[in-house]
Structure formats: C-alpha cells, structure tokens
Chain A
C-alpha cells in the first residue's frame, strides 16, 4: 500500500464558510483513519478578503504542509488566482465554472501587488486574466480540471426539494465543493455525511440539506475518474480529536489547574481565552465542578496586573497575548519578577513590528521575550513545537511558575496556534504530568518573611488570605518585603532572585528543554525551534532515505538556557532555521555557548516554512555550503 500523503486546499472570501468547509473535509477524511494537519491563513478582516485552509492528509502524523497541492477546491474566483500555480502535475482542480469569465481586474479583494504580478503573468501569455485563463494555464502545467456550475447545481437541487428561497441554498456551495473533492478522492460518502452530522446535527433542516448536497456531489462525480491516490478506509485504534493550537493550550491550562485568566482581545491569542471562557466550568475527578474566572480587561496592562493579583491569592493564573499586547505587559512582567509572582504568559507570536502582520506567522519575538523588562530578573521562557508539546508545556508552565516563583513565558507561534491537527486522544493524558506547586505555605507561620533568603533562592510562599501577613514592593526590599536601598541587602536580594534560575536550570530535565532527532554522528545539524519542527522532521526523514544523515536539535527552553545541547553541536556544521530576519536563535547559540552557526535558513514573509522549501534550502547548504537562504514561498 502506498503511503498516502496529500495536500488539499480550499479558499474563499472570509466570512463565507471556509472554516466550516475545511472542518467538514478534515473530519470526513479523519473518519477514514487518516491524520490531518490543517494550516489556516487569513487576513486581518471580517468579511471579503481571501482566506484559505491547506490540509495535509496522511497515514502518519504530520505537523507541516507541502507547497504543491494535490487537490484545489475552489468555488470563488479569487481562490483560483491565488492557488492555481500551486497545483502539482497530475493534481486536481475542482472549480466553479460559474466564475469562468471573472477576471483579475474586477476582483476587488485581490491585493494590488498580487494583481500586478498576475497581470504581468497573463500579459506575457497574451491572456486577459480570466478564471478560464488561469484554468487553462493550470491544465498546461498538468493539472486535471473538474468544472461544475456549482450555483446552478445547487439551484436545481433546491427546486427539486421544493425550496422556495433559492438564495438560501447558495450557502451550500462550499459543502458541494468539499463533497465533490472527497468523492474524487474516493472517500466513502458515509464519512462526509457523518462529519456533517457531527457539525450540523441538531441544527434543524441544515443537516438534511447538507446530506442532500453531499448526495448530489457524489452523483455528479460518479462517472468521473478518481484521483491517483484514493482515501480508502485504513485501520485505526482508539479515539481521535481535532484540535487547533489555541484550544490545546487552553486544555493544557485547564488540566494544569488554571484558576484565573485575564486577557485583552488580540489575534492570534484570544481564541484561547474565549475557549476557556466557554468551558470554564470544569469537571474534576471527584465530580465537583470547579474552574477558572476568566476576565476580559480594559487593556493588556490590566490583564497582567489582574493575573499577578490573582496569583498572589494562590489561584494558578495566566494571561494570553500576542506581540503588541506583550509590549504593554512588560512592566507587569518585571513586577512579577521583582515580587516573585508565579504567573504564566502565553505569548502567541505574529508578524511585527507594531501591528505588523496580525494574522501571520513569525518567530521574531524570541529575543524580546527573553530580555523584556528593565533590570535583571529571572524568567522562564519556553516554546512549543507541535500540538502535543503545547498541551504539556501549558501544564508545565503553571508548574514552573509556582516552583520557581517567577513569570513564565510560553511562546507559541501563529502557525501552531491556528493549525488544526487530528490527534490520538491517548496522547493527551493528564496522568503523564503531576501538579507541582513548589514551596507553598498553607499554615500560619510566626515572624513570616516572604522573601527569606534561602540556599536555592526560593522562599516559602504564603498566599494572601492563608493566615500570614506579608508585604511586597516593586522597590528593592528586605526579607519582610519592606523597602530597602542598603547596598548589602540589595546584593543579597538580587542574588537570591537570580539564584532561582540556577535552581531551575539544575532541576528541569533536559527532556523538557530540547529534543534531538536523527543520528548523533551526522556532520550537519539543524537547530530550530517552534513549529518549524514539523517540516524539519519531514526533511531529515526524506534526506535519510536519500542516504544523507542530518541531525536536528529542537530547542524548547531558552531560559534557563539548556547548555547541555553543546554536546550535540560542537564540531558540527550547524544550520539554523527560523521564521525571523536576524536569526535570533543563532544569536543565542553564540551568546550562550560561543557557537557560530554555519548557515541560516530564514523566513519572514508571514507564512510558515513548508517541507519543500526547507528541503531545497538544506540541500543547497549541504551541497554548496550556502551561508544564507531566505525562504519566500506562500500565498
């Protein structure tokens, strides 16, 4: 049996049901036993601009996408113009012939820069630039095209069903498009109908109408040849869930005993808080229903201040934000560092600076997160590479915060935050991690000193309301928490705080701080972090099949920096891969270990690196010793 691994893409104007269409597809193919990794790309806009979902369907788990599409499913004209060049030779385009005469000039949502590139492209071919022209070019490139008048077909169906308002049925065009594609992929009709059942069950006539539209799609395609790779049922075991990065972090936080989250709305972070708010009444194993208070604040300054305040009472507290919000949180972060508050900040990275690319991927905030705040103070900074890591990192972040009584910044890049993945439920187990609250004082202690100087820097922490009285100040302070400017006291308190990071460095195992993949004897080692992990794992696998051994060091904790990685890196040719301009992780390797990276693969156009481009860049570096490759793929 061939190992199924294909890319399916659909797109359309924002607000027209792209998420629903992609969700329907993902659920349907998952029911046949396949894993799915879905990348969501969208504009900072509510309605009208182009958004799309790229979905990888495979037998094995994946956490990345390929550039070349197997199936493009398009019911609107812009999707054709955005993606027709990405369809691979032998790939399939399912499109809406209703749009044949639409041309680029009249699609107002097309961005000018793309419009100009397309004009030039079609002009060279002496074409006007209609949907039909694009389809013809795709055909020349070897795509197989299946055209349907989707509105027409839906209207006929509506009439047949005795539906008076034909317009109402137009919303089923995307269901039709998805079902046409699953039929051509040879997916059992029952799976997509069941998927529709999951999504629309209990919503009146909607489900039946979706079922009828799916029947229609399978009828229309019954005589057409199937794609060369078909999605026949494959065996699976256990339950599987479909989750995005924001939601899996929220689930991790709930598992980790989160009891307070404050936030200010920001993309791509607020979906996490909204999910928490909708699911805040949490069932515990003893059947009680408890859960966190979720508070929407007036700004990010208040968000971190509230989380700090809540943390002082013993409630596990966090906030979630993105770059612009984190910029505002910095003073609160420093305060948490100074008065030793266990608080977690989930930092979803998007393109900056300033408002930047609000809905696009970036890893340009690593150095900012590490150095945020005036003065020296300890903080833990970690980042997740995929959904499973994000789940456990969310739990562990709450543990680290309490064990070391300091702020923890959990970095999640946008690509991961918005990526959907089919995951084996057994992989999300609450029995794999314990709750560790560190030195917490539950009883009254005479002459209690909140900032008592200790061997490891960690002072027993009383929570407000636990019977102990203490003082705390953002000024330098003595053990009681009163202001001091005495030079000796300053030294001992400063050193006490910083010592906690040394303690954390000693105690947190390497397995929670980095992962090494591949052969340790390889001459070339890729160093990377965050969601690039998925594409890099694919690439080292492919290269191995070609007989090239490459190691991959995936860094997951940056503070305290795991110096132990040195043993994997010395004497190797190092390739650093990051989604930023400067190579921030490479800079850290230099600063922390004195190691110089040999080559950089960078990407900063707001789209995550794909397997293909990482592969080509790595190959280029191995063969030609290229020093720097900038990746530019993406729509």
Chain B
C-alpha cells in the first residue's frame, strides 16, 4: 500500500513547524511499509494536539480520554491480538495523567507500540510544564521556572518492563519511520520516545537545541538487543546507563530490546485454551438464531446440593 493511502482529507490543524507533522508522516510511511491491511490497524490516541493524529490517518482510530489510551488499547489488543495496535499520546497524557497505565503496561508486556510525543509542554492548554520538562527550565509559556523534576521516559520504561525501548526525533523522519516499523514488529510492549519541538510554547527544546546534541546509537558501537538469557543483565544495565545521558550529547535509537520475555498474550494463552486459535473477539457466542451456546451444565453440577 502506498504511503498516501494512509492519509485522510481532514485538515491537519497543528501549528506550523510542529513536530507532530514529522511523526504523522513517519507513522503513515511505517504503516505502508509494514504491509498490513489498513483495517487491521487500530490507533488509540490521547488528549492534546497529538491526540488528533488518528483523524489524519486512514485506519481505525480512537481519540480517547486523557491518559487512558494505553488501557483502552490493551483491551482491544487482548480481545483481538490479530490487530496491530498503536498508542499515540503526549508526555502529559502518558507520563502525567496516565502514568499509572504507562507503568502497568510494561509489567504486562502486551504487544503494542507506544509513540510518546515528547515536547515537554501541554500545548493545547497554552504551554504548562509537562512531565519531561526539566526542573528549573522556564519556557516562554511559563511565568516561573518549572517547579517539578522531570521524568525520564527511557529509564521509566526500562524499569516498568517494556521490552522495546527506543528514542527518535520527529524531524528525522526516515530514522523515526524505521524505529516505528521495528516497534510494530517487536512482540511485546514497545516504547518509542519521540523528541519534538513545540514551536509555539517551548522555546527551549527547539530544533536548534536538538540539532547539535543528538547522536545515533548504531552498530557496531551499540547493540541493545538481548538475544540470549546471559546477555540480559548486561544489556539492561547498559541501556539504563545510556538512558541517563542528557546534556551536550543526547542519544537516539534502540536502547534495549528483549523478546525473551513472554508477551501478555503468550501468558493468557497458557491459561485460556482457545486464545491463540480463537481470541475472544472472534469466538461464537450464539447460533444463527441467537440461541445461547454456553453450556453451563458442568459449572452448575459443581454447585449441586441435590
């Protein structure tokens, strides 16, 4: 499928220069490259500028409650694991109001790709500090420097148990597209932290700011993929150390990937007989005339007193 077939004719109403444009293009390109039928994708977005992305992508998209796109996406994915489920939301959405869900998703390792639109501000409400904005930073939208310490999405995702942890840059579309494809291919929870500018409200983390600092984690210098159990500790520790790097040099790329951890779907399959073959959404519950197909007789028998 062509990249253009993933576009809709809804007007994209982001501010000129917004990093969201790059993410939208990279996502559409990745979806085209990944070659699933458009109707097998499901994108769940949060609230804020980034949340509108689903309306611009020609595949099923649910523009969610603030912070709840992760649990809603998990529900859809677990009910029908054949869907390719993508979560798109801002750092305020997923690391502020939805941070509990962000952490819990890692513990489950459900097979989904989380795209974190990371610009450090709540844009749609005029630029309040969001969870990735460092303490002491005063953007032009703030009257005083940020009072809260920032969260580190990479370190948090590693701690929470995400099995694919990467960072990209909204203005390097090809690099971002490649990582989105890898995140979709990954079996388990994938976090892709996407650095971007908010040209309207964040005058600190601008294109110029990132331009001089970003460098790519690439082979042969860097390989974060765990391929056998004995590499686990070492690669995890190195990824965590790398996650702390923020200053004159900021790494982007794949920090860590570990497919040795069973996905939540694998774990359910161990307990629910039909799951792999017939996931919940695809099971029959009645005959064509609506007759109930559940046979309660064994369950009732176990409760018999007479």
The interface of chain A, by Cβ under 8 A from chain B, is 26-27, 30-31, 33, 195, 198, 236, 238-243, 247, 251, 254-257, 259-260, 262, 279-286, 288-293, 295, 297-299, 301-303, 305-317, 331-332, 335, 339, 395, 422, 425, 428, 430-431, 433-437, 444, 463-475, 482-483
Contacts and interface: CB of A to CB of B under 8 A. Distances in A.
Which are the 6 A-B pairs with shortest beta-carbon distances? A309-B75, A257-B285, A306-B75, A435-B286, A434-B290, A473-B63
A293 B296 CA distance: 18
Given A291-B274, A298-B103, 15 more contacts: A239-B304, A259-B285, A260-B280, A283-B294, A284-B284, A290-B273, A291-B283, A293-B79, A293-B272, A295-B78, A297-B71, A301-B100, A313-B76, A314-B281, A464-B80
Interface string B140-184: 000000000000000000000000000000000000000000000
B80 A306 contact: no
B12 to A, nearest CB: 12
Contacts of B104: 297-298, 302
Contacts of B116: none
A430 B75 contact: no
B271 interface: yes
Interface in B45-77: 47, 52, 54-55, 58-65, 68, 71-77
Most chain B CB atoms below 10 A, which of A289, A433, A435: A435
A309 B71 CA distance: 8
Contacts of A297: 71, 104
A425 B298 CA distance: 12
Nearest to A343: B75
Contacts of B38: 469
Nearest to B100: A298
Given A301-B68, A306-B71, A309-B75, A283 B292 contact: no
B39 interface: yes
A305 B72 contact: yes
A430 B101 CA distance: 38
A473 B80 CA distance: 21
B85 to A, nearest CB: 9
A31 B83 CA distance: 51
B268 interface: yes
B233 interface: no
Given A293-B268, A306-B78, A339-B62, A425 B292 contact: no
A280 B71 contact: no
A464 B83 contact: yes
Given A241-B300, A309-B75, A309-B79, A257 B65 contact: no
Contact of A292 (B76, B280, B290, B295): B280
A436 B306 CA distance: 33
Contacts of B37: 467
Contacts of A243: 303
Contacts of A241: 300, 303-305
Nearest to B57: A471
A313 B83 contact: yes
Nearest to B61: A471
B39 to A, nearest CB: 5
Nearest to A309: B75
B297 to A, nearest CB: 8
B40 interface: yes
Nearest to B283: A290
Contacts of A463: 281
A529 to B, nearest CB: 27
Main secondary structure on chain A at its contact with chain B?
mixed
Contacts of A262: 75
B100 to A, nearest CB: 5
From B78, B268, B280, residue with most partner A Cβ within 10 Å: B280
A301 B290 CA distance: 33
A474 B63 contact: yes
A245 to B, nearest CB: 13
A537 B44 CA distance: 50
Residue from the set A286, A315, A483 with the largest chain B CB neighbour count within 10 Å? A315
8 contacts: A30-B306, A254-B296, A309-B62, A312-B42, A312-B76, A425-B304, A468-B39, A482-B10
B305 A30 contact: yes
Contacts of B40: 465
Interface string B91-110: 00000000011011000000
Contacts of B281: 259, 310, 313-315, 463, 465
Contacts of B236: none
A315 B306 contact: no
A319 to B, nearest CB: 10
Contacts of B289: 434
A295 B88 CA distance: 23
B304 A293 contact: no
Given A314-B281, A431-B292, A299 B100 contact: yes
A283 B54 CA distance: 39
B79, B83, B289, B298: most-surrounded residue (chain A CB, <10 A): B79
Nearest to B59: A469
Contacts of B227: none
Q: Which of A26, A239, A465, A473 has the most CB of B within 10 A?
A: A465
Contacts of B122: none
A635 B219 CA distance: 72
Contacts of A482: 10, 55
A251 B61 contact: no
Contacts of B291: 285, 431, 434-435
Contact of B292 (A281, A434, A444, A464): A434
Contacts of B268: 293
B274 A290 contact: yes
A382 to B, nearest CB: 19
A434 B288 CA distance: 10
B300 A289 contact: no
Contact of A251 (B65, B79, B101, B299): B299
Given A31-B305, A289-B273, A305-B68, A255 B80 contact: no
B95 to A, nearest CB: 15
A236 to B, nearest CB: 6
Contacts of A280: 271-272
Interface in B100-129: 100-101, 103-104
Interface centre among B73, B75, B292, B294 (most CB of A within 10 A): B75
Contacts of B283: 259, 290-291, 315
Given A254-B296, A339-B62, A464-B60, A309 B73 contact: yes
B213 interface: no
Specify which of A251, A292, A307, A471 lies most central, judged by the most chain B CB atoms within 10 Å of its CB. Answer: A471
A298 B305 contact: no
B83 A465 contact: yes
A501 B279 CA distance: 32
B274 A240 contact: no
Most buried by A among B62, B103, B271, B273: B62
Task: Name the residue in A286, A291, A303 with the highest tally of chain B Cβ atoms < 10 Å from its Cβ.
Answer: A291
